[in-house]
């Protein structure tokens, strides 16, 4: 079992889009039992699959063991892909985790969920607090989407630094250039600086995910964006395999 966190303290960098598309690849291409766990109160991951939380769901209470994740997990329209949707209770998650005072509570919950899943993908909120600290302790690997710019190297170093200060032994961190537009000079330069970083193109096919409520690989399997998501997924699987 592996926990793949898609994380950045920055908002709007493509975390949810990447998490949702990776979850589909895991379930469909790699045929792994996959859980997409939405930790962001905004609920974007659920929206991208057209899956809403159950009425009266209390995803925040999972952490205090007052609700059972099995009761909250929903099927998607894809085999092997389940979703644990966000709901309004996650607004309090930082406080809940701080109050509980168990630094590895999220890791423990992920461990328990792993009995039913091969891959758990965490869509994280853009925060730097107890939630992100716990995510970093739970993750086998951390995917960090970075908007291409002359500052992307520095942005990546800052995330790495944050991760180091929060976790003694931190998981491998995989940078991804997100929303890459090769018509733009600064994006070209960022790409040249990091030819080995996986990259996801800025593409209308990717925007369509939110309109069609489907992953790119489903409705535009031959698009460049779908190919790039596939390459990113392969890189992640390789990384996990190399970790044993
Ligand atoms: N590769 C891409 N090409 C075009 N549009 C994209 C791409 N990736 C993301 N977007 C769009 O950018 C917006 C932000 O993406 P997304 O919600 O995935 O970011 P996020 O990091 O999860 O944001 P937040 O921090 O608010 O949760 C969305 O409208 C999404 O459709
Ligand atoms: Mg998001």
Q: Which domain holds residue 177?
A: 2-243
What is the number of domains present in the chain?
A: 1
Instruction: Report the separation in Å between the CA atom of 13 and the middle of ligand 2, taken as the mean of its atom positions.
Output: 8
The predicted-structure confidence for 87-145, as pLDDT tens digits, reads as follows: 999 999 999 999 999 999 999 999 999 999 999 999 999 999 999 999 999 999 999 99
List Cβ neighbours of 6 (8 Å cut-off, separation of 6 or more).
15, 16, 18, 19, 22, 121, 122, 123, 124, 142, 143, 145
Determine whether the shortest distance from the Cβ of 180 to ligand 1 is under 6 A.
Answer: no
Are the C-beta atoms of residues 63 and 105 closer than 8 Å to each other? yes
The predicted-structure confidence for 186-213, as pLDDT tens digits, reads as follows: 999 999 999 999 999 999 999 999 999 9
Are the C-beta atoms of residues 63 and 102 closer than 8 Å to each other? no
* Residue linked to tokens 């099927």: 75
Instruction: Report the separation in Å between the CA atom of 12 and the middle of ligand 2, taken as the mean of its atom positions.
Output: 7
pLDDT at 168: 78
Decide if pLDDT at 167 tops 80. no
pTM above 0.85, yes or no: yes
Closest C-alpha residue for ligand 1 atom 29: 207
φ, ψ at 221 (rounded to 5°): -65, -25
CATH number where 165 lies: 3.40.50.300
The Cα–Cα gap between 60 and 179 comes to: 31
């Amino acid at each position: 079992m592996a926990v793949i966190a898609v994380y950045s303290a920055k908002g709007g960098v493509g975390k949810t889009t990447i998490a949702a598309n990776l979850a589909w690849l895991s379930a469909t291409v790699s045929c792994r039992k996959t859980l997409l766990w939405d930790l962001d109160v905004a609920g974007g991951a659920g929206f991208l699959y057209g899956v809403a939380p159950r009425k009266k769901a209390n995803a925040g209470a999972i952490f205090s063991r007052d609700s059972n994740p099995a009761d909250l997990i929903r099927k998607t329209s894809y085999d092997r892909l389940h979703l644990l949707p966000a709901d309004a209770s996650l607004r309090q998650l930082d406080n809940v985790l701080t109050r509980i005072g168990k630094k590895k509570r999220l890791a423990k919950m992920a461990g328990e969920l792993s009995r039913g899943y091969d891959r758990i993908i965490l869509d994280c909120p853009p925060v730097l607090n107890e939630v992100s600290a716990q995510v970093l302790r739970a993750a086998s690997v951390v995917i960090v989407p970075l908007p291409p710019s002359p500052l992307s190297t520095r942005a990546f170093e800052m995330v790495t630094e944050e991760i180091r200060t929060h976790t003694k032994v931190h998981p491998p961190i995989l940078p991804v250039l997100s929303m890459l537009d090769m018509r733009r000079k600064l994006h070209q330069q960022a790409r040249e600086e990091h030819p080995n970083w996986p990259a996801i193109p800025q593409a209308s096919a990717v925007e369509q995910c939110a309109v069609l409520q489907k992953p790119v690989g489903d409705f535009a399997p031959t698009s460049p964006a779908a190919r790039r998501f596939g390459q990113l997924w392969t890189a992640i699987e390789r990384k996990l395999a190399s970790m044993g």
